[in-house]
Amino acid sequence: MSEDKAPITRVLIIGAGIAGIQAALDIANSGYEVVLVEREPSIGGRMLQLSETFPTLDCAQCILTPRTVEAGHHERIRLMTFSEVTGITGDIGHFTATVQRKPASVNWDVCTGCGLCQEKCPTKVTSPFDRGMGKRKAIYTLSPQAVPNKPVIDREACTWFTRGKCRLCEKVCPVHAIDYEQQASTTQVEVGAVIIATGYTLYGLENLGEYGYGQVPDVVDGLAFERLLSASGPTAGKVRRPSDGKEPKQVVFIQCAGSRAPETAMPYCSKICCMYTAKHAMLYKHRVHDGTAYIFYIDVRAAGKRYEEFYHRATEEDRVLYVRGKVARVFREGDQVVVWGSDTLSGASVEIAADMVVLAPAMIPHPETLRLAEMFGIPANEYGFLLPAEDNILPVETVRPGVFVAGAVTSPKDIPETVAQASAAAAKVLALFAQWSGVPEAMGISVGADAS
């Protein structure tokens, strides 16, 4: 340790998806302080965008909300949302992180989260949270049960910032929390260890033209379909085509859109798409009983606990039609989306005139991860995924002491694995903090006590 000052038993966790939240709760519930930094205005990450989760079909909000609420209320967790880590100095035991908070244009200390401003705001823009499937106001929270339930103003959309007109939200706010002049703020945070859990985003399929993504309106990606299926989503869970809002009777799901494609996109497998696509097809059939769901696949990868039985159920109970073969082209013909695929067994090319196509794109690390890798001096592979100290036996440590990683930031993985890695990272931090604070002795347990 650099100075002789005692090491700080506080942890900085970057990213408040399910990984960051789980690690934060494990550490905070063990009596130590946590600083949880999140880019978005509220915590929950990708899981908040999901409708239901495989293999149990639990509604994602129902199992995530208790965690976000607990983290939001925890006296030892300091939430810093709408913020990013812009600098780090020092090393294990004595890190100093610079955290910059973007201007929310709303004074959160005063705001009660009553939602009046969101109701009255006249400006609507397409919602990135809903992956373009719905609209949101210029002043917004990510979802009705956001934690913290405080809005921010999207300065590129708000007519006050773009054309100097409106200020309606300021007028209706009962507690005068709106503050258009609010500036970005930076704070320094002293911590002893860091956990990076910045998660993933989806590969942009614009440059995979053959799937018509971006040109054909009724070709959407997996996360967008999650929003359509979600009870609190833009269509309240009803499956609607983006082009004309009709209920699609034939839906084609395409696997490995950008994954396992060394020449054209990402060579690696994104691990969870086989499972969430089976789930998409099942949930689609639960809502449109007379619909037909086709899945074009190369391999069905259902290896986790109860995953194979879930895939079995999709074919047996929900009659999902699996066709083994890659899709060559998706194009629009009249109001239909024509899919040119193939079937390996019959060796034949297969054509389906569908109403809607859902792509399972490759998972890539969050764009910010490369910046963090350089900042912390941690190696990343050529696709931007951070590298753990050793693949097999040190999966959550990094080459830099005191800095740990968890979740999809190291490679695509499902929720149980993410949660396990989050708790594993927490265990490493707890071990450091226990040694530094000498907690066990204080509790009357002599180190080296005869364990018999």
Partner 1 sequence: MKRIGVFICHCGINIAGTVDVKRVAEAIRDYPGVVLATDYMYMCSDPGQSLIRQSIKDEHLEGVVVAACSPAMHETTFRKASAQAGLNPYQTEIANIREQVSWVHQQDKEAATQKAIEHIKTIVEKVRYNESLIPLALSLVKKTLVIGGGIAGLQAAIDIASAGYPVVLVERSNRLGGHVAQLSGVYVNFDAARDLLQSKLRAVQENPRIKVFLQTEVEELGGYVGNFTARLKHTADGQITYSEQAFGAVVVATGHSLRPLAMFGEYGGGRYPDIIDALTFERMLAPDGPTGGQIRRPSDGQVPRQVVFVQCAGSRDPEHHMPYCSKICCMYTAKQAALYRQRVPDGQAYVFYIDIRSQGRDYEEFVQSAMTQHDVLYIRGKVARLYEEDGKVIAWGADTLTGKPIEVEADLVVLATAIMPAEGAVELAQRLRIATDEHGFFSEAHPKLRPVESLTAGIYLAGTAQAPKDIPETVAQASAAAAKVLSLFSQRQLVAEPTIAYVDEELCSGCGLCIPACPYQAREMHPWKHKAVVHEALCQGCGACVVACPNKACKLRNLTPGHVLAMMDAYLAEV
Partner 2 sequence: MATQATVSVAHTATSSATPAARGTLRVDPTFLRTVETLSHENIRLCYYCLKCTAGCPTAYAMDYGPAHILKLVQLGQKDEVLRSKAIWLCVGCETCWTRCPNGISAGHVMDALKQMALREGYAPAERRVLVLHRQFLTSIRLFGRVHELSMLALYKLLSGDLFTDLDLGARMFLRGKIPILPERIRGRAKIQQLFKRQARGQG
Question: How many angstroms separate the Cα of 279 from the Cα of each of 58, 297, 321?
Answer: 11, 14, 13
Give the Cα-Cα-Cα angle 308, 314, 317 (nearest 5 degrees): 120
* Contact between 89 and partner 2 per CB under 8 A: no
Per the CB < 8 A criterion, the answer to whether 28 and 79 are in contact is no
Spatial separation of the C-alpha atoms in residues 346 and 323, rounded to whole Å:
10
* Contact between 393 and partner 1 per CB under 8 A: yes
Query: Which of 217, 206, 101, 220 minimizes the C-alpha distance to 150?
Result: 101
Interface segment toward partner 1; rule CB under 8 A; list 78-86, 182-190, 260-268, 369-377: 260-268
- Total binding residues toward partner 1, as defined by CB under 8 A: 94
Spatial separation of the C-alpha atoms in residues 39 and 432, rounded to whole Å:
27
Query: Which of 24, 68, 28 minimizes the C-alpha distance to 48?
Result: 68
Query: Which of 159, 48, 156, 142 minimizes the C-alpha distance to 103?
Result: 156
Pick 65 or 201: Cβ nearer partner 1: 65
Of residues 400-419, those binding partner 1 (CB under 8 A): 410-412, 415-417, 419
* Contact between 105 and partner 2 per CB under 8 A: no
* Contact between 424 and partner 1 per CB under 8 A: yes
Q: Which of 163, 181, 289, 443 binds partner 1 (CB under 8 A)?
A: 443
Binding partner of 350, given partner 1, partner 2, none, CB within 5-8 angstroms per partner class: partner 2
Instruction: Kindly write out the interface string for residues 41-80 of this chain, putting x where it contacts partner 2 by CB under 8 A and - elsewhere.
Output: ----------------------------------------
Spatial separation of the C-alpha atoms in residues 411 and 271, rounded to whole Å:
9
Instruction: Kindly write out the interface string for residues 147-186 of this chain, putting x where it contacts partner 1 by CB under 8 A and - elsewhere.
Output: xxx-------------------------------------
Instruction: Kindly write out the interface string for residues 263-292 of this chain, putting x where it contacts partner 1 by CB under 8 A and - elsewhere.
Output: ----xxx-x---------------------
Q: Which of 207, 346, 381, 435 binds partner 2 (CB under 8 A)?
A: 346
* Contact between 93 and partner 1 per CB under 8 A: no
* Contact between 46 and partner 1 per CB under 8 A: no
* Contact between 312 and partner 1 per CB under 8 A: yes
Query: Which of 40, 113, 106 minimizes the C-alpha distance to 79?
Result: 40
Q: From the CB of 339, what's the least distance to partner 1, in Å?
A: 21
Pick 122 or 438: Cβ nearer partner 1: 438
Give the CA radius of gyration of the chain: 24
Question: How many angstroms separate the Cα of 36 from the Cα of each of 101, 255, 340, 394, 419?
Answer: 13, 34, 47, 23, 16
Residues in the chain: 452
The site for partner 2 (CB under 8 A) is made up of 292, 294, 300, 312, 315-316, 319, 321-324, 340, 343, 345-352
